[in-house]
Structure 1
């Protein structure tokens, strides 16, 4: 009887050990982002996995061909601005940092910044990560996406902390009015193909999370109305929109003041991705501002 009981206990221990072993293997197999990947993702505006199809070539006219350019077929898109059209199967011109590191058929994740946009997309490489060679254990399907997601989570709080630190004001409020801003003739604005088409949003401040109390409880926020590549990360505002706004004094439009209710007020901008946040992020923002 004692012998049978001991055998059952040993069997249970082996069973539990097996479960733990499988669990630990599963954790180890989860793709983890390295510090270098996190830094590259933060710097890059376009990240994609792709296969090199041609070296010393370009994918569309208007891109200068050189020994550094290569045509890469997109296998999956991990990050891009919404204004950029890019999908699986597209051919992209990549200006490589070191062409000698690549050969036709090489597969890699490319960390890039936008270069030329026309009938196609051309980018400049900031870094890359080759896929595993044939002698190594291949990554599971979707590993690139999971690694990217993990890196994004690591970036999240630190990036938001940086934005909060650089903002002049952080407020919770509601947009009461939105209108196009017509720059006065005296404005020192530059003519550019990336004209922002400035609009103004009047924000009724409900609470101030960072900065002094706002006079009159209203601020003017100037923002680009265009979805141009140059302004793709800039939030667009709509009447009755509520949220958290990270505001900086306007240094972009050329006119840093506006008239509200017959008085001159300082104008702010909210130009970065993440400078406008949903109300649900209030506890997170309060916590980060305490650090």
Structure 2
């Protein structure tokens, strides 16, 4: 009878970079969070756990908080010779225990595969809402923007980012806020980033990336006290005009299906739903602390 090799769990280190890259790129049981960082770039943050059988990395789970009150599941990858359920049962309790040591935190994930969605539901994660993908096609006439004589739309620069992060934290709920570090990465990877400002400072911003068919609007926010004044549409109209001049054929954007204000803004500009929907699951601090045997 062949003895089973015990699985051990430890924190990922830089020496794991290549084995983890193999898991991410060559295995099929892989969840990757859509992020400004590659999953390997989270090495050094905790919890980032590796399960080993012998000397071989057979699974990894990364859930480092960023910002501090929210931890997205950045990576869950499992070797083909191990079941995802067994890997989750080994790694998730260790990661959960680590996260319970700090301040109350919400854990979230956007599962794109049914097997991962089922694992989350079995671990008390709940569907928070859905994200929908909208698409804008070049060639359509855009409604004019409001005349905003006291508001200027200009290119974003690196020195704007602290003010952008402050605006971001007031415009979004905790689940969708970006840390300053994440916004710096977003700015560095952007194809077009602009801000709207008046005499009081920044009142809005957008960050967009380029792709072979056009662009993706990754982030658009307006200061809450300045909303419903046409600033969001001014930013949107400006970025669409700029991308059309660059030859973009289409621009995509994601938004919450229950965000009526956001949906109305994009519909005004001619964005239409593609039918693609992405579920957002979360585990609140209260549910996080539930014992696994309580139903």
* TM-score between the two structures when normalised by the length of structure 2: 0.28
Task: Pick the structure with more helix per residue.
Answer: 2
**TM-score for the superposition, normalised by structure 1:** 0.29
Could you say which structure has the larger radius of gyration?
1
